[in-house]
Amino acid sequence: MSEVTGQVLSVSAKKGTKREYETILILRPASNKNNILDLVHKMQGVFEKFGASLIKIENWGNRTLAYPIKRSATGIYLYWRYIGGSDIVHEFERNLRYTDAVLRYYTVKVDEDVDATARPSEITEDLLQTISEPPPEPEPEPVREVEEPHSVFSNDDEEGLEEGVP
């Protein structure tokens, strides 16, 4: 753990390549612009230290959660995409755990054997300014293209069994 390699420690990985990960954070709805900017800047330091690079970051705005997390009914979604070695996810998530504003995080490996130089970072200071402000329209309910898609399955007989319908 003490050794910082920035490499992918896997036998099957190609030499000199990295992995692409994406992490979604849910922040407390009370987080303001400065909180988010601080978090991003702090994490950029972590990425740099571990030889990783942030390539994309998006703010999905303050959304209603499907269920409350830590008594919060809404949360600000931040989507991060980055390239790094085996140890970056561990370190990134460790830092997130220490951040009070983070309600939840989830990381997915998107791609492996990535040439880190082939994917330039889209991150600029201007972009960080814009993402730290939530989008003006807080995600209007998308128009349903298929009319009530799940209603097709609403008469699921298994549902009846579980609810003990006589």
Partner 1 sequence: MSDDKPRSSSSRRSSSLLANDKTLVIDYKNPQLLKSFLTDRGKVVPARISGVSARQQRQITKAVKRARMLALIPYTVQ
Residue 53 is inside which H or E element, if any? Answer: strand 53-69
Q: Which residues contact 128 (CB under 8 A, 6 or more apart)?
A: 37, 40, 41, 57
Q: How far is the CB of 19 from partner 1 (least distance, A)?
A: 18
Q: How far is the CB of 162 from partner 1 (least distance, A)?
A: 8
150 near partner 1, rule: CB under 8 A = yes
164 near partner 1, rule: CB under 8 A = no
φ and ψ at residue 77, rounded to 5 degrees: -90, 130
In 3-state terms, what secondary structure has residue 9? coil
149 near partner 1, rule: CB under 8 A = yes
Closer of 136 and 142 to partner 1 (Cβ): 142
In 3-state terms, what secondary structure has residue 146? coil
Interface ranges with partner 1 (CB under 8 A): 24, 26, 65-67, 69, 75, 77, 79, 104, 106, 108, 142, 144, 146, 149-154, 156, 158-159
